[in-house]
Amino acid sequence: MTLESLDQLNNEIIQCRKCPRLVAWREEVARVKRKAYRDQEYWGKPVPGFGDHTARILVVGLAPGAHGSNRTGRNFTGDASGGFLYPALYRAGFANQPTAVSCDDGLTLKDVYLAASARCVPPDNKPTPEELNNCQPYLERDLDILKPWVIVCLGKVAFERILRIHSVRNSAWKFGHGALYQLDAGRGTWVLCSYHPSQQNTLTGKLTVKMFDEIWAKARELMQNE
C-alpha cells in the first residue's frame, strides 16, 4: 500500500463540499469581496495545509479568515492573524521571512506545518460542532501522515479537537496559554496550547509578542528533546 502524501490529502481538501453552509459562505465572501481587494480573485475554497512536509511541529488553528486565507488560499496569509504569526515563526527560526501576503511570496517553513480545525471560512469565525466533525478526518490524516512530535493548538477549539481525536477524557487537561500535556500517558506527542493570534487577542494585549515567542521557543525545545 502506498502511503498517502500531504499533497494528495490537500488535493482532496480543496474539492470538499461537505458543509453546505460553509460552501455557500466561502463563495459569497469571495464574490462580494472587501473593497480593498475588489480587484483580486479570491480563493473561495477550502484552505489546504501549508508548511514543511517533514515537520515535527503541527500547528492547528481555527478556520480561514474571510479576507485572509479565504482570499489568498494559504493558511494565515493576508490578514492580521498571519501578520502576528509569521513574524513570530521567523524570529523562532521556523520561517524564512516574516511576511505572508500571497501564495507566491516566497515564504517557506522549516519544521512547522499549519492546519486548521475547519478548512472553510465560517460566518462570525464560528464553525458549528457538526462542521468541525465533518472536517476532523482531514486533521486526523494530517496527524497520521506527519506523526508530529509537538502539536501547537492555537485556541481552545483546536485544543478540544485534538483531545477529541485522541479520545482524551482527562478533566485535568484544560486549555490555557502555555498549558502543556503529553499524549499516551506521558510517552507520546506533546500538546502545547497558545492563545490564537487573532486581533481580538493581540490588540487587547491578551496575547503579547513576548507570550507568543515563548510558545515557539518551547515548541522548539520540545522538538529538539525528542
Q: Rank residues 98 and 123 by Cβ distance to ligand SF4 and give the closer one.
A: 123
Q: How many Cα atoms are found within 13 Å in the side-chain-facing hemisphere of 15?
A: 5
* Bridge partners, 58 (sequence order): 113, 151
Q: How many Cα atoms are found within 13 Å in the side-chain-facing hemisphere of 72?
A: 19
Give the phi and the psi of residue 61 in degrees, each rounded to 5. Answer: -100, -165
Cβ atoms of residues 145 and 5 within 8 Å = yes
As a whole number of angstroms, the distance between CA 8 and CA 33 comes to 29
Q: Rank residues 105 and 144 by Cβ distance to ligand SF4 and give the closer one.
A: 144
Number of residues that bind ligand SF4 (CB under 6 A): 14
**Does the footprint of ligand SF4 cover residue 22 (CB under 6 A)?**
yes
State in angstroms the smallest separation of the CB of 135 from ligand SF4.
3
Select the span of 2-10, 11-19, 98-106, 176-184 touching ligand SF4 (CB under 6 A): 11-19
Which ranges constitute the DSSP H helices of 14-128?
Answer: 20-32, 69-72, 80-91
**Does the footprint of ligand SF4 cover residue 161 (CB under 6 A)?**
no
Q: Rank residues 18 and 166 by Cβ distance to ligand SF4 and give the closer one.
A: 18
State in angstroms the smallest separation of the CB of 166 from ligand SF4.
20
State in angstroms the smallest separation of the CB of 139 from ligand SF4.
9
State in angstroms the smallest separation of the CB of 180 from ligand SF4.
28
Within the chain, how many helices (H) and strands (E) appear?
9, 6
Q: CB burial class (10 A; 0-12, 13-18, 19+) of residue 91?
A: middle
Binding mask 108-147 for ligand SF4 (x = CB under 6 A): ----------xxx----------x--xx------------
Q: Rank residues 67 and 119 by Cβ distance to ligand SF4 and give the closer one.
A: 119
Q: Rank residues 56 and 67 by Cβ distance to ligand SF4 and give the closer one.
A: 67
DSSP state of 123: G
Q: Which residues bind ligand SF4 (CB under 6 A)?
A: 13, 16-19, 22-23, 46, 118-120, 131, 134-135
